[in-house]
Amino acid sequence: MFKRSEHDKRPLVQIFVDGVAVAARQGDTVSAALLVSGRDARRATAVSGAPRLPYCMMGVCFDCLVTIDGVGNRQGCLVPVTEGMQIEIQKGKREIGK
Amino acid sequence: MSGEYDVAVVGGGLLGSAIAWGLGRLGKSVAVLDEGDIAKRASRANFALVWVQSKGLGMPAYTVWTVRASEAWGQLASELKQQSGLDVCLQQNGGFHLTLGEDEFGQRSELVTRMHNQAGAADYRMEMLSASEVRKSLPLIGPEVSGGSYCPLDGHVNSLRTFRAFHTGFKAFGIDYFPDRPVTAITKSGGEFRLTTPAGEIRAGKIVLAAGNANQTLAPMVGLHAPMGPTRGQIVVTERTVPFLPHPLTTIRQSDEGTVMIGDSKEEELDDRALKHSISAVMADRAQRMFPHLARLNVVRSWAGIRVMPQDGFPIYDQSETHPGAFVACCHSGVTLASNHAFDVARMVAQGSLERELVGAFSASRFGGASGANAGC
C-alpha cells in the first residue's frame, strides 16, 4: 500500500521484524518502516484482540504499540529506527518482563 | 396517596443506585435525585474490592453483615447480567494482604489473632501464610515479601460496570433518574415528603438518604443523625499487562482487562482535584517490592477520590422516629455491600421497617445524640 519516493536517498538501516531482516531508511520511525515494509504489521489490541495498524503517526492514538528491543507497549511512531533494532509485532497485552 | 413516587432516593452513587435498583426490582415507583458529573463520587474512584478480611474489628455485627454481602454478590452479578447483559466480572477466589519485612508480618499476625478472638463475629477463615505459602498462589512475589494474610471469601469486581449496570437497570424497572438535582431541603406534610431541588420539587411516600458524606447535612432535616469522617485515597493505574495476579490484594489488583490498580492510601486532605505525588511514589514503590516486574510498566492514570466514611468506620442504617418513612444509609464499602443494599436494605425500605437482627447494630444512636427507630440491638 505504501511505497517509498524514488527521491528518498537516505542511507539504509537494517532492522529485524520478528527476526526477519527489513531495510529501513535513516530517519524512519518504527511505524513508518513497518508500514512500508510490505509485511503484515498488524498488532492485536490488549482487550478484544482486534487487528490494528499505526494510525495517527504523531503519538496520540496509541494504535502503533509494538515491542522494541524487548520492551513492550512502545509507541512505534515516536521511535526512530537504529541499526540492528529488534521489533516484535505485539499480539495483545504487554507481557511480563517485556 | 402519598406523593408521586413510592420512594425518592437521594444520591445516585453506588449505594443509592443499589437501593433504588432493589426497590425497582420489588415493583416500587422510584425517583433517584443525583448531583452532576463533578460530584465527589466514590462510585467512580473506588478500588473495586469485594472485601471481607479485617472488616469489623470493634463491631462483630459488621463481620456478619460483610460475609452476608460477600455470599449474596453472586446472585447480584447474575441478576445484573441477565437484566443488562453486562458482565461485572465478579471474581471471589480469595484475597491476600501482603506484608513487607518481619515487622509488618508481626503486626498483621496480631490483627488476625484479635479478629479471631472477637466474640460474636462471623468466622471468615482469615489466616496468616508464610512467604513460601504465598508464593504457591502468587509466584511472582519479590524477596522482600514476608508473607501475608489470606481470606477465601475475598474478591473483586468491575465496579464501574456494576455502577453502569444498576443505571441500565433503572430504565428496565421504570426508575426515574434525575441528575443535577442536589436536595437543599426536605419537609414532610400530609404523609408525604417534599424534596426541594434547584429544578423543582419531588414528592414521595418514603425517602432514602444515600448521599454519601452529604448525609451529614441532609439527615438532620428529617430527625436523623449521620456523623461522617471522610478521607482521601489515591489510586495509581498501569498500562494493561498479561494476567499475572490471580487473586486481588488489599493494595494491588489486576482488572479483568489487564490494568494493574495500586491503591489504599489515606489522607486527611479532602480536595479530589489534585493528588500528592509523594504518596503515589510510596504506593508504587511498595507495589514493585511486592511484584518486582511491575517496575517495567508505565503508569497511565492516577486519581484521588474522597471516601464516604461514617465517623467510626462502620455503616449507618436508620429510620427516623420523628419522620417515619425517612431512612438513612451510609457506609464506606459501597462495592462490597452492594448486594445487601440491593436485596436487604431495599426490602426493609419497601416494608417500612429495618430488620434489627440484620442491621440493628448500625443505628446512629451509637454516636449518642438523636437516635433513630433502629436502636436497641
Q: Are B327 and B206 members of one domain?
A: yes
pLDDT one-digit tens code per residue, B203-214 = 999 999 999 999
Instruction: Report percent pLDDT > 90 for chain A.
Output: 95
A33-37, B143-147, B265-269, B290-294: lowest mean pLDDT where?
A: B265-269
pLDDT (0 to 100) of residue A15: 98
User: How many angstroms separate the CA atoms of B67 and B10, rounded?
Assistant: 27
Q: How does DSSP assign B28-55, residue by residue?
A: --EEEE---TTS--GGGT---EE--TTT
What the block records as the C-alpha cell of A43 is: 498488532
Q: Does any domain span residue B343?
A: yes
pLDDT (0 to 100) of residue A48: 96
Reduce the DSSP state of residue B369 to 3 states and report it. Answer: coil
Mutate to test the interface with B, among A62, A94, A95 (most CBs of B within 10 A): A94
Q: Does any domain span residue B30?
A: yes
Q: Are B200 and B348 members of one domain?
A: yes
Q: Which residue of chain A is at minimal alpha-carbon distance from B256? A: A47
Q: Does any domain span residue B17?
A: yes
Q: Does any domain span residue B333?
A: yes
pLDDT (0 to 100) of residue B373: 57
Q: Does any domain span residue B320?
A: yes
User: How many angstroms separate the CA atoms of B234 and A2, rounded?
Assistant: 46
End position of a domain, from candidates B262, B279, B307: B307
Q: Mention every residue, 6+ apart, whose C-beta is less than 8 A from residue B367.
A: B225, B227, B311, B312
End position of a domain, from candidates B256, B279, B307: B307
Q: Does any domain span residue B129?
A: yes
pLDDT (0 to 100) of residue B264: 85
User: How many angstroms separate the CA atoms of A75 and A66, rounded?
Assistant: 6
End position of a domain, from candidates B134, B152, B170: B152
ipTM: 0.87
Q: Is B201 on the interface with A (CB under 8 A)?
A: no
Q: Are B209 and B334 members of one domain?
A: yes
Contact B239 A95 (CB under 8 A): no
Q: Are B223 and B319 members of one domain?
A: yes
Task: Give whole-number Cα distances, B260 to B62, B111, B148, B256, B282, in Å.
Answer: 29, 27, 20, 10, 16
Residues 253-272 of B with CB under 8 A from A: 257-258
Q: Does any domain span residue B123?
A: yes
User: How many angstroms separate the CA atoms of A8 and B351, rounded?
Assistant: 80
What CATH number corresponds to the domain at position B183? 3.50.50.60
Confidence of residue B112 (pLDDT cuts 50, 70, 90): very high
Q: Residue B141 belongs to what domain range?
A: 95-152
Chain B nearest-CA distance from A58, in A, is 18
User: How many angstroms separate the CA atoms of B190 and B276, rounded?
Assistant: 51
Q: Are B235 and B224 members of one domain?
A: no
pLDDT one-digit tens code per residue, B261-310 = 999 899 998 999 888 999 999 999 999 999 999 999 999 999 999 999 99
Q: Are B297 and B330 members of one domain?
A: no
pLDDT (0 to 100) of residue A21: 98
Q: Does any domain span residue B83?
A: no
pLDDT one-digit tens code per residue, A61-77 = 999 999 999 999 999 99
Model pTM?
Answer: 0.93
Number of C-beta neighbours around residue A41 at 10 A: 23
Contact A46 B258 (CB under 8 A): yes
pLDDT reading at B241 higher than 60: yes
Tell me the pairing of strands B176-178 and B30-33. Answer: parallel
Contact A46 B298 (CB under 8 A): no
Q: Are B328 and B352 members of one domain?
A: yes
What CATH number corresponds to the domain at position B243? 3.30.9.10
Q: Are B282 and B318 members of one domain?
A: no
Q: Are B340 and B222 members of one domain?
A: yes
Q: Are B263 and B317 members of one domain?
A: no
Q: Are B326 and B224 members of one domain?
A: yes
pLDDT (0 to 100) of residue B372: 55
Tell me what the mean pLDDT of segment B318-343 comes to: 97
What the block records as the C-alpha cell of B301 is: 492514570
pLDDT (0 to 100) of residue B3: 62
Tell me what the mean pLDDT of segment B180-189 comes to: 96
Contact A96 B140 (CB under 8 A): yes
Contact A98 B296 (CB under 8 A): yes
Chain B nearest-CA distance from A9, in A, is 37
Instruction: Return mean pLDDT, chain A.
Output: 96
Mutate to test the interface with B, among A73, A75, A95 (most CBs of B within 10 A): A73
User: How many angstroms separate the CA atoms of B78 and B226, rounded?
Assistant: 32
Q: Is B139 on the interface with A (CB under 8 A)?
A: no
Tell me what the mean pLDDT of segment B251-267 comes to: 95
pLDDT reading at B2 higher than 70: no
Tell me what the mean pLDDT of segment B11-24 comes to: 98
How many domains in chain B?
A: 3
User: How many angstroms separate the CA atoms of A55 and A41, rounded?
Assistant: 12
User: How many angstroms separate the CA atoms of B91 and B74, rounded?
Assistant: 9
Q: Mention every residue, 6+ apart, whose C-beta is less than 8 A from residue B25.
A: B79, B169, B173, B342, B346
Contact B17, B23 (CB under 8 A): no
pLDDT reading at A6 higher than 50: yes
pLDDT reading at B377 higher than 50: no
Instruction: Report percent pLDDT > 90 for chain B.
Output: 89
pLDDT reading at B189 higher than 60: yes
b/e for B45-54, b at 16 or more Cβ within 10 A?
A: bbbbbbbbbb
Q: Are B317 and B206 members of one domain?
A: yes
Closest-CA residue to B291 (of B165, B144, B186, B156): B144
Contact B293 A96 (CB under 8 A): yes
Question: What is the 8-class DSSP label of residue B249?
Answer: B
pLDDT reading at B376 higher than 90: no
Tell me what the mean pLDDT of segment B133-156 comes to: 98
